Amino acid sequence: QVQLVESGGGSVQAGGSLILSCAASADIYSSNCMGWFRQAPGKEREGVARIYTITGKTYYDDSVKGRFTVSRDNAKNTVYLQMTGLQPEDSAIYYCAAALPWSGCQERARADAYTYWGQGTQVTVSS
């Protein structure tokens, strides 16, 4: 069964850090583009970062470059999003997503490029 399960959300003060995890079922993790997205109330879902699991190549939205790091552990079929220097504008529900295997990662900044989604985890940053 295809599955993506996020964990690690929570509440922090501005300047704080959090690490999100996304455990994926093996059939969608291998050789795949795994993305992190976020959606704040009243806003569209936006891409934050993504990683191609077979090569480890990463991509970031300009809003999080230098603050967020996406990584993966192939032995655990898990991707991570390490978030530092969090600001109130980073508050949102964060989602993990997976594209279809072997379909590349470079042109997958948009949410409609992904097939599978996790349930989301809330991140709240207070000032």
Q: Is 126 exposed, middle or buried (0-12, 13-18, 19+ CB in 10 A)?
A: exposed
**CA 98, CA 117: separation in Å to the nearest integer?**
7
Q: Please write the tens of the pLDDT for every residue from 73-90.
A: 999 999 999 999 999 999
pLDDT band at 102 (very low <50, low <70, confident <90, very high): confident
Q: Please write the tens of the pLDDT for every residue from 17-71.
A: 999 999 999 888 887 999 999 999 999 999 999 999 999 999 999 999 999 999 9
Find where tokens 């059939």 sit: 27
